Structure 1
Amino acid sequence: MAPTPGLRDFAIEFFHFVQKEASACLFAGLFFASVLLVPRSGVLGLPRYDALLVIALAIQAGLVWSGRETFDELKAIGLFHVLGFALEVFKTSSGIQSWSYPDAAYTKVFGVPLFSGFMYAAVGSYIIQAWRLLDLRIEHHPPYWMAGLIATAIYLNFFTHHFIGDYRWYLAAGAIGLYARSQIVFRPLRRDRRMPLALGLVLVGFFIWLAENIGTFFGLWAYPHQLGAWAAVHVTKWSAWSLLVLMSFTIVTNLKHIKATVHVPS
């Protein structure tokens, strides 16, 4: 029996959605392919972490050279890199030791390889690419100062929870309330589709959590419970990544050309 026109149209739209999502993940896909392909022993005498840094820089340069990312977008991605690297330095410090990078490298600073910031930059690159490819619009976005305040509090909580308690779930509840009416409008091909913004952020956080499991499985970094033998990254990290995605999203929405597609009720 031939598929109904409605089902056929949905299948076509879904195919284009998946295709554009995959294209938006170009930086992350190429980078994690490198994680799988670069041996732990390194390449041509270059340690693995250093080789991954060279590859990440080449991918980023290629995206700018090809026009897939602008210099303004590169500045935002650079900010993700800096914020992520600062968090990595803190989390791997001797007083915290949330995780570690066990392999040697020439490009380690304070015990953290410089390539690590690109794992955060990849999130920003994905959001920027998806915005362009799927013609994203945001309806009922909260006032920018409120969004900036909650994003700042989320980032600071990753540091302060080691000293004054973890307020992650309070911040998550606040963010859900703040973005309760916010909708993502996107166009895979011909028709606009929509979903709650909060759901989109949680879904992206889930896929990053899966990628993190792949990274730790291949020994890119290790949590304390993985030092003896590999074990899955705890599912609570999914919530942490979802909040970091919200922080990245907030930075992207401040780009001038993207602000034009964000509706903030007056």
Structure 2
Amino acid sequence: MRSSTSVEQAIDDLAHRYLDRAHRGPLRLRLTEFVVFGLKQAWACVFGAALLAVIIAARLWYPDDAALARNDFLTISAVIIQVLMISFKLETLRELRVIVLFHAVGTVMELFKTDVGSWSYETEGFLRVGAVPLFSGFMYAAVGSYMVRVFRLFDLHFDHYPWRWITALVAAGIYVNFFSHHYIFDARWVLLAAVVLVYGRCVMHFRVFRKRFRMPILVSFLLVALFIWFAENIGTWSHAWLYPNQLNGWQAVSIDKLLAWFLLMIISVVLVAWVYKPEPPPSRTSATQIPDATQIRQGHPDIRGARPLD
């Protein structure tokens, strides 16, 4: 059983109380699963959502002539968000280690990409390395935060998960290509084919509340990449950073960036997999059956993370 933070446990407790108030018909059970799924997804995104909210607020209301540069304000805000997450035990120290690693990997990429002109930031402020404001690393950390939290929140298990050393090689190739394609052959389509080959058979099993569901892992990569692309559009609209074609007026981020984010997901998954080792799914019966109240109170072994009904 993977540990839960206070908020995560409160979501499950709320669902238990909701089901205890009335007859648990099929519709009520399905509605509960749907609501809990939405709440847990929102909670998994809390770091990124808070950071994005600050970016939007800075764009709309932060004064241009403030003594503290906007980019420095964003960096300080990101640090405060992270400190609060840890202080209130909304994020575990184990997760923080992965998030810091995401921060480092992302910042190195940012330094290179801004140098070659892939995108740019305003040069204001002191809290930066070269042309890269330090808040940029927190945007990668937000992706890492989501990944480690969703792994625990939904009790992820995997059928046919590839050997981790193979996934590490693919991820290393993807990371190197983010740099090397500016000088030599762009291997992104070759790498995409490698991802499909390596992960093609893998199926992700996840528990929302009581029922377990399954999804091809490649589909989950695509869905997360799509949501990151939406967030990137909001970020560039807020002028947190800009692509060359947006310097003379904002326009939507090219849909081609979906491939870049899809490949970045592989790096994210590999980093998280070294902290939370991918495990095979529990027994097939737990994936299809909803245990009754007696089983719940007795601590049925197929109910991962569920608490007894009050």
Answer whether TM exceeds 0.5 for this pair.
yes
1:70 equivalent in structure 2: 92
Residue of structure 2 aligned with 1:207, choices 210, 223, 227 = 227
What RMSD, in angstroms, separates the aligned Cα atoms of the two structures? 1.8
Q: Helix, strand or coil: the match of 1:162?
A: coil
Whole-angstrom distance in 1 between the partners of 2:127 and 2:101: 19
User: In the alignment, residue 152 of structure 1 is paired with which amino acid?
Assistant: A
User: In the alignment, residue 68 of structure 1 is paired with which amino acid?
Assistant: L
User: In the alignment, residue 205 of structure 1 is paired with which amino acid?
Assistant: A
Is residue 123–residue 131 contact of structure 2 (8 Å, CA) maintained in 1?
Answer: no
Whole-angstrom distance in 2 between the partners of 1:76 and 1:107: 23
- Deviation readout 1:196-228 (Å, 9 max, x if unpaired): 111101100000011000011111111110011
Residue of structure 1 aligned with 2:262, choices 242, 256, 260 = 242
2:82 equivalent in structure 1: 60
Whole-angstrom distance in 2 between the partners of 1:126 and 1:214: 18
Aligned identity (percent) is 42
1:252 equivalent in structure 2: 272
The CA deviation at 1:44 is 5.4
Is residue 119–residue 243 contact of structure 2 (8 Å, CA) maintained in 1?
Answer: yes
Give the TM-score normalised by structure 1: 0.91
Aligned length: 256
Whole-angstrom distance in 2 between the partners of 1:100 and 1:144: 35
User: In the alignment, residue 262 of structure 1 is paired with which amino acid?
Assistant: E
Whole-angstrom distance in 1 between the partners of 2:205 and 2:73: 39
Whole-angstrom distance in 2 between the partners of 1:232 and 1:153: 28
Whole-angstrom distance in 2 between the partners of 1:78 and 1:43: 32
1:11 equivalent in structure 2: 31
Residue of structure 2 aligned with 1:114, choices 134, 140, 145 = 134
Q: Helix, strand or coil: the match of 1:209?
A: helix
1:161 equivalent in structure 2: 181
The CA deviation at 1:61 is 1.4
Greater CA radius of gyration, 1 or 2?
Answer: 2
Is residue 25–residue 126 contact of structure 1 (8 Å, CA) maintained in 2?
Answer: yes
2:158 equivalent in structure 1: 138
Residue of structure 1 aligned with 2:106, choices 66, 84, 88 = 84
User: In the alignment, residue 139 of structure 2 is paired with which amino acid?
Assistant: M
Structure 2 unaligned residues grouped into runs of 5+ = 1-23, 282-310
Whole-angstrom distance in 2 between the partners of 1:11 and 1:65: 33
Give the TM-score normalised by structure 2: 0.79
The CA deviation at 1:20 is 0.3
Residue of structure 2 aligned with 1:104, choices 113, 124, 132 = 124
Residue of structure 2 aligned with 1:125, choices 124, 145, 148 = 145
Residue of structure 2 aligned with 1:195, choices 195, 215, 221 = 215
Structure 1 unaligned residues grouped into runs of 5+ = none
Whole-angstrom distance in 1 between the partners of 2:212 and 2:135: 37
